[in-house]
Structures are given as C-alpha cells and as structure tokens.
C-alpha cells in the first residue's frame, strides 16, 4: 500500500467475490470465498465456500451504518465495511470485518469468532462510489493482503 492511500466509506458493489478468513474460539479455522449479491432492498444473497463446499447465505446490508449481517446454516456473521483507496495503483480495497457465532448443526455450535473478507475494484472503472478523500497514511489491516491471495489464486483453500 502506498503512502497515498486514502480511506473512505460508501456502498457495497451489487455483486462481488471476496476472499474470507475466519477464526473460531481464537483458532484459525478456514480460508474461503464469499460470493455476494446485494439486492435493491438491501438484502444479501450468495454463498460462502470453505473447503470446496458452497454454502448458501442470506442476510441484510445497512447502508447508513455500513454494517452487514448474514447467516449460513452453520454460522451467523455480523460486520462493518471499511474502504481503503490506493490512488497510485487505482484500486479500492473493500474490507468487511466482524464477529461470527457458530450455529447447530456445526460441531462448534455456540462458539464465537472473528472474520475478515476483502475484495478490490478499480477506482478508474467503477462508478457509484464517492470520490477519493484527502490523502491519508492509514493502511488497511493485514487481512487485505492475506485474503486477497485467495482471490488471485496464490493460496491453498
């Protein structure tokens, strides 16, 4: 990330694929992919894939609070969106971070954990977002770089 990185907030893309990492009870659990569609009524539909199995998800997106909530048959997720712009390479990094709770029938039902999901889009080619904010030296969390490896085929899932 360059020194010209900037931080801003705005909406989720209507369709996106994210690299995701989850830890439960303080133990790293899985790496995977989150495929998400935000419907016009701010409902979320998609899949989360861990260990090669796509699991359906559904939930909601709160635009004004920049918060997401969704669940699969095995876990409930809640999180917050942060956006980091890197104008030198014309990329916008979207980062969702939050908490999760494992649900029955998971073997870890009742356990809590954390998750981070990242994706990026071209600043030059995507409309619908606010213009970049004044320059900042803030850097995204390491999860941006680690989970982005999932999206570009540089890690084993």
Per-residue pLDDT tens digits of the chain, which is 157 residues long: 443 444 443 578 999 999 998 899 888 777 889 999 999 899 999 999 988 889 999 999 999 999 999 999 999 999 999 888 877 777 888 899 999 999 999 989 999 999 999 998 887 765 554 445 444 445 555 555 555 555 555 544 4
Q: b vs e for 68-90, b when ≥16 Cβ sit within 10 Å of the residue's Cβ?
A: bebbbebbebbbebbbbbbeeee
Angle at 5 between CA 4 and CA 6, to 5 degrees: 115
Distance CA 117, CA 34 (A): 8
Q: Which CATH architecture has domain 15-123?
A: Beta Barrel (2.40)
Domain boundaries, the chain: 15-123
pTM strictly above 0.85? no
């Amino acid at each position: 990330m360059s020194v010209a990185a900037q931080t801003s907030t705005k909406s989720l893309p209507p369709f996106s694929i994210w690299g995701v990492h989850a830890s439960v009870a303080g133990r790293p659990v899985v790496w995977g992919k989150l495929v998400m569609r935000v419907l016009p009524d701010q409902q979320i539909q998609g899949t989360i894939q861990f260990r090669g199995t796509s699991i359906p998800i559904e939930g909601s997106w709160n635009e004004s609070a920049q918060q997401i909530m969704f669940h699969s048959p095995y876990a409930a997720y809640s999180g917050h969106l942060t956006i980091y712009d890197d104008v030198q390479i014309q990329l916008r990094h979207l980062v969702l971070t939050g908490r999760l709770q494992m649900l029955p029938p998971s073997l870890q039902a009742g356990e809590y954990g954390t998750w981070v999901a990242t994706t990026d889009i071209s600043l030059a080619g995507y409309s619908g977002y606010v213009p970049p904010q004044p320059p900042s030296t803030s850097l995204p969390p390491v999860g941006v770089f680690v989970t982005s490896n999932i999206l570009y085929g540089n890690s084993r899932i």
